[in-house]
Amino acid sequence: MSLLVVGSLGLDNVATPFDKVENALGGSATYISLAASYFSGPLYLVGVVGEDFPQKYITLLENHNIDLEGLQVVKGGKTFRWVGKYHYDLNVRDTLLTELNVFEKFDPIVPDKFKKAKFICLGNIDPALQLKVLDQMVDPQFVVGDTMNYWIEGRKDTLMELLKRVNVLIINDSEARLLAKEPNLIKAWKIIRSMGPEILIIKKGEHGALLFTDDIVFSAPAYPMEMIYDPTGAGDTFAGGFIGYLHKTQDLSAENMKRAVIYGSAMASFCVEKFSTQGLENLQYFRVHDRYREFRNLSRFDEKE
C-alpha cells in the first residue's frame, strides 16, 4: 500500500513579528509529504517546480524517502511563490503575493508506478489539478483533500466537483464558513456533508481541531506552546500527520481517526517551532510519539461522583 501526495512546492517569503525568511522551502505538498514521511512509505509526490528550485530542497525531500518520479522540473520556468505576513496574533496572516508560475500550465502526470496508490492526499492547489490527478488513479480508496479561500472564491464549481470524490476534507474555520456560507461550524459541517465528504476536519490554529463524522464530533486541543516561531505550513503538516498515521495503521475506524487527528496536531506543533520546514527536517519518530502521548493529559479529566 502506498500514499500519493499532490500539491504545491514553492518558495516562500514569510515575515512574522519576530523574524523573516526569503526563498524558504514551502508549498502544501512539501509540508504534507515531509510530515507523512515520519509514518510509513512508500510515499509518492506529484508536483511541479521551475529550474530555479534549489537542488538542496530536492535532496531534502529525497532524504525523507519521498519518491520524486512524479515531480516535473520545467526548463526556464519559475517556481510557485508565496509571500505572507503574520500579525501579532499569529492566527491572522495577510497573503501579500501568490504567483502560480509553473502551476499555471501544469499538467500533472501520475507515473504508472504511482497509479495504484490507495491513499491519496490532495494538498492545496487548483481543484482542477486535484481532479486531474484523481482521474488517473486506478482504485483510490481513501482521499483526503485540502483547499483554501483562494480556490473557494475563485474556483467554486470545480471545487464542488472535487468534493463529491473526497472522503475527508480538511480546512480551517474561516474556510469552512466561507465554503458553507454559514457562520456556525456545526451547521457548516452539515452543509459541507451534503457536498460530498463523509468526514470534515476543521483546523482552528492555536485552538485545536474539530473532527466531524456522521456519528461523532471530536474536539482535539492544540499543543500549548510558549513560542510559535512560524505558523506557515501547520495546516498541511497536520494533514500529512493525519493521513500518514492512517496509512501506517490501515485502520479507518472512528477511534483511529481521533488518534490520527492527535498525530496531525503533534506534527503541526513541531512545524511551528521553527521557520519554514526546519521543524520537520530532523525529527525522530519517538519524539512525535512522546508528544502524541502528552496530548492525553491536555483534556483528560475524571468525573466526580
- To ligand AMP, the closest distance from the beta carbon of 255 in angstroms equals 26
φ, ψ of residue 206 to 5 degrees: the values are: -75, 0
**Would you say 40 or 232 has its CB closer to ligand AMP?**
232
Q: In the complex, which residues of this chain contact ligand AMP (CB under 6 A)?
A: 8, 10, 12, 26-28, 82, 98, 124-125, 148, 150, 232-236
**Would you say 49 or 211 has its CB closer to ligand AMP?**
49
φ, ψ of residue 137 to 5 degrees: the values are: -85, 145
**Would you say 150 or 218 has its CB closer to ligand AMP?**
150
- To ligand AMP, the closest distance from the beta carbon of 5 in angstroms equals 13
DSSP string of 238-259?
Answer: HHHHHHHHHHHHT--SHHHHHH
- To ligand AMP, the closest distance from the beta carbon of 75 in angstroms equals 22
**Would you say 44 or 151 has its CB closer to ligand AMP?**
151
**Whole-number Å distance between alpha carbons of 167 and 190:** 15
**Whole-number Å distance between alpha carbons of 185 and 300:** 24
- To ligand AMP, the closest distance from the beta carbon of 73 in angstroms equals 17
3-state secondary structure at position 181:
coil
**Would you say 178 or 252 has its CB closer to ligand AMP?**
178
Residue 295 and residue 223 in contact, taking contact as beta carbons nearer than 8 Å: yes
- To ligand AMP, the closest distance from the beta carbon of 168 in angstroms equals 16
φ, ψ of residue 31 to 5 degrees: the values are: -65, -40
